[in-house]
Amino acid sequence: MTDRQNSPSGEDSLIARYFKPLATDPGAFGLGDDAAILKAEGDEIVVTTDAIVEGVHFLSGDPPDTIARKALRVNLSDLAAKGATPAGFVLTLALRSAEDAWLTAFARGLKEDASHFGCPLLGGDTVSTPGPAMISITAFGRVLPGKMVHRSGAKPGDRVVVTGTIGDAALGLDILRGGDVARALGADTAAREMLVSRYRVPQPRNALAQAVRAHASAAMDVSDGLAGDLAKLCAASGVSAVIDAPGIPLSAPAATLLARGTVGIEAIVSGGDDYEILCAIPEDRFEAFARAAGIAAVAVTSIGTMIAEASVPRFFDDRGRQIALKRLSYSHF
């Protein structure tokens, strides 16, 4: 994403108008070069990248500012789970057309979130596409040497802990698609809006990054579904887990829909797009972690225990019966 000064093309003009104002970091050179500089400052640089695609991660009618926020926040969520402090990002934007109203709103949302989370734009690229719109962001974070929290590292006896609430985003998507959740909530506008907001605008837990770094033995963010992502973390750590399904934190609308039978527990734990942190916390560190989470104003819940097995994590109901899950997570393929 460069702003070439001689004979500007349509792309150059687009970048200069909408994105150059976001490039406030000195290492971005005002988007006037072919690359940027990110100073390590003695830290290790954590790199993560995620793309969101129209029709898969957002809908064509979603407000442009929420699309921009989601594109950045899903990457910030990865940094939070690694215990990293945001340092900057690069953006690739593929659009069918360059519409002023859409780009103005998109750039506004991106600018506000870049400022709020301390993660400035460093560069990138803009291209046209005949297919669905796609926004890809690569984000960079900083950690002290050797302090990044990996998926591996969980030990038998560690608590399985999640932030926030689980399942809301999948229910919000169902509402936007006019599914059973939309019909069940009827005129409950507040519940509908809350669930849709959770789908459109994730809440990355960057305020908890320091506590994750200090106390977690393993961590990752929940993007494809709690059940599937827990299975990935367990596989990387060479352990398994037992989960108390009734203890999984739910929002009031999600709890109501589950109690009514509108949705089952599988939809909650396998739906994806939660962007909460899933971590393993040693028993003797949990109280300190919970205190740090309270100071950071992030809710955390202990939902199970890591065990010394190589099996897929098991979920149990309030009667101690194992829940059969046909699907663990969302899959792109």
Binding residues for substrate: 57, 273, 330
Annotated binding site: 34, 48-50, 57, 78, 124-125, 151, 221, 223-224, 273, 330
Q: Which residues contact 62 (CB under 8 A, 6 or more apart)?
A: 200
Give the whole-angstrom CA distance, residue 298 versus residue 217: 19
Annotated binding site for Mg(2+): 34, 48-50, 78, 125, 221, 224
Would you call 247 exposed, middle or buried from its count of C-beta atoms within 10 A (0-12, 13-18, 19+)? middle
Contact 53, 149 (CB under 8 A): no
Contact 142, 41 (CB under 8 A): yes
Give the whole-angstrom CA distance, residue 246 versus residue 318: 6
Q: Which residues contact 44 (CB under 8 A, 6 or more apart)?
A: 142, 143, 144, 145, 146, 147, 148
Q: What is each CA distance from 240 to 194, 217, 247, in whole angstroms?
A: 33, 14, 18
Annotated binding site for ATP: 124-125, 151, 223
Coil/strand/helix, residue 109? helix
